[in-house]
């Protein structure tokens, strides 16, 4: 019998355009060699130009999906994406406590609050639950600078403020924090992106060139999913973040246009389609 791959769970919303959300997570898990399971939190109606709306899955059904996967299949690592409401966050926290997600099973929290177009994906009153209930259980939280402002009220405009924000965010209880500086301009370093990892003692900097593409839909989800994949394989956190950064750099470099708006980052650089376009034969 062939031994199966490690298993990761995403607790996330569906993106009908297929660029972000659970669709990006599952694609990323697959090309990172991990079997992906899903607890769907919300079904969004969206395309490349925006999110027209969403319906939430009942909180008890979100919790039941997590429990069904954990009790039968088993989970090596988990991540959260769009959680939509305070009631869903509370239900997720309760079941995670029951089955050890956030303790023996690493939990990556991507604190999704809005889409790139500015459409809300999290109710305003859910921020409190995210901050006070979910973050203390997180192994890693991966905010961008907009999410940092919402979570800790720090308006990061320099690398010094990025360090200050990391300290403030770590104080909310996540074991590790990764502050993504993608949108940060700081004089001479404009062409570099600096992501800052902090564990309460040490800072680790991950720098890379700023890649010139408008097509970055799903980049936050894909980075967090790649990090989760590495954790599912047993990597330590700094190595898992390094792996995620190398993955997302290639995914952004290969991003493609789709529709009239913001296209998705690409997992395809990792796979060769077994297809001969002359004969239209595949295998």
Q: Which residues bind ligand PLP (CB under 6 A)?
A: 12-13, 15, 20-21, 44, 81-82, 112, 115-116, 121, 217-221
**Could you write out the DSSP letters of every residue in 105-161?**
B-EEE----B-TT--B-B-TTHHHHIIIIIGGG-SEE---HHHHHHHH-----SHHH
Is residue 91 within 8 A of residue 59, CB to CB? The reply is yes
SS3 93: helix
Written as six digits, the tokens of 161 are 């403020």
Which residue has 């839909």 as its token pair?
217
Q: Phi and psi dihedrals of 268, rounded to 5? A: -70, -20
Write down the least CB distance from residue 20 to ligand PLP, Å: 4
Write down the least CB distance from residue 180 to ligand PLP, Å: 12
211 versus 238: smaller Cβ distance to ligand PLP: 211
15 versus 133: smaller Cβ distance to ligand PLP: 15
DSSP letter at 136 equals G
Return the residue nearest ligand PLP (CB atom). Answer: 21
133 versus 147: smaller Cβ distance to ligand PLP: 147
Write down the least CB distance from residue 248 to ligand PLP, Å: 11
Write down the least CB distance from residue 270 to ligand PLP, Å: 19
44 versus 174: smaller Cβ distance to ligand PLP: 44
């Amino acid at each position: 019998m062939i031994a199966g791959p490690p298993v990761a769970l995403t607790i996330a919303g569906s993106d009908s355009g297929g660029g972000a959300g659970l669709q990006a997570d599952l694609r990323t898990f697959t090309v990172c060699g991990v079997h992906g399971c899903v607890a769907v939190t919300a079904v969004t109606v969206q395309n490349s130009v925006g999110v027209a709306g969403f319906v939430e899955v009942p909180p008890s059904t979100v919790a039941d999906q997590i429990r069904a996967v954990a009790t039968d299949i088993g989970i090596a690592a988990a991540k959260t994406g769009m959680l939509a409401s305070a009631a869903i966050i509370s239900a997720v926290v309760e079941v995670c406590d029951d089955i050890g997600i956030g303790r023996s099973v690493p939990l990556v929290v991507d604190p999704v609050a809005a889409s790139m177009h500015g459409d809300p994906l999290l109710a305003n009153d859910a921020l409190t639950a995210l901050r006070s209930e979910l973050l203390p259980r997180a192994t890693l939280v991966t905010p961008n600078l907009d999410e940092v402002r919402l979570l800790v009220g720090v308006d990061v405009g320099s690398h010094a403020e990025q360090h200050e924000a990391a300290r403030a965010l770590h104080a909310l209880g996540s074991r590790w924090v990764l502050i993504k500086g993608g949108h940060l301009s700081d004089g001479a370093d404009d062409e570099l992106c600096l992501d800052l990892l902090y564990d309460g003692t040490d800072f680790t900097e991950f720098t890379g060139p700023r890649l010139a593409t408008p097509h970055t839909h799903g980049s936050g989800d894909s980075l967090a999913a790649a990090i989760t994949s590495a954790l599912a394989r047993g990597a330590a956190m700094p190595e898992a973040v390094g792996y995620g950064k190398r993955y997302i750099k290639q995914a952004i470099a290969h991003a493609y246009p789709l529709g009239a708006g913001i296209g998705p980052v690409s997992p395809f650089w990792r796979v060769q389609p077994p297809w001969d376009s002359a004969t239209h034969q595949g295998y």
